[in-house]
Amino acid sequence: MSTAIRFTYQDYLQLPEDRRYEIVDGDLSMVPAPVPYHQQVSRNLEYSLHGFVKDRGLGEVFYAPCDLLLSETDVVQPDLFYIAAARRSIITDKNIPGAPDLVVEILSPATEVRDRGVKLKLYARAGVGEYWLVDLSAKTVEVLTLKAGRYERIGCHGHQDSLVSSLLPGLTIPLQQIF
């Protein structure tokens, strides 16, 4: 009988740095390199989100690769995430040990099941207040808000719409500028 290996953050630190990895519930996964369109959308969204947050002194926006340490056996690198100014103290020189206020995952064929499954549950368990799922093929952004430990779908914005967030009042991102 074989026993599954449960990876920890200490194991993660020993991995070669030439690839991206994540650990969810102790299961190690290699994260494939994103395609150019993914990177364009990520950059456009990060630029809009960062500008809004920075201009108002609301906190910090980070983009992958940046280690988000949610537990000793949960280390992920979301495409984008935001930490409110009041919670800046969770930012360290090496990683972010704690839940951000917002996580953005850009779906790809290789990551969609994981992003909508185990990572959705992980982010809810960790207390991430808002979760955006960006669908490149449908050109939509699904906005989920944490209510009583579970995500509730607030809306799904198409490329003709503007993205808004209850977490960041006043934020309006025309999605034609993103896709």
**Total domain count, the chain:** 1
The reply to whether 1 falls in a domain is: no
**Which residues are bridge partners to 147 per DSSP?**
150
Contact indicator for 162, 178 with CB cutoff of 8 Å:
no
User: So what's the pLDDT on residue 5?
Assistant: 83
User: So what's the pLDDT on residue 104?
Assistant: 99
The reply to whether 133 falls in a domain is: yes
The token pair that represents 49 in the structure block: 């989100």
CATH of the domain at 94: 3.90.1570.10
The reply to whether 93 falls in a domain is: yes
The reply to whether 124 falls in a domain is: yes
Question: Quick check: helix, strand or coil at residue 17?
Answer: coil
Rounded to 5°, the CA angle 104-139-102 comes to 15
User: What is the reported pTM?
Assistant: 0.93
The reply to whether 18 falls in a domain is: no
User: So what's the pLDDT on residue 158?
Assistant: 97
Q: pLDDT tens, 74-94? A: 999 999 999 999 999 999 999
**Cα-based torsion angle of the residue sequence 151, 9, 106, 54 in order, rounded to the nearest 10 degrees:** 90
Q: Hey, what amino acid is at 92?
A: T
Q: Is the predicted pLDDT of residue 42 greater than 70, yes or no?
A: yes
Mean pLDDT of the chain: 95
The token pair that represents 155 in the structure block: 């809306």
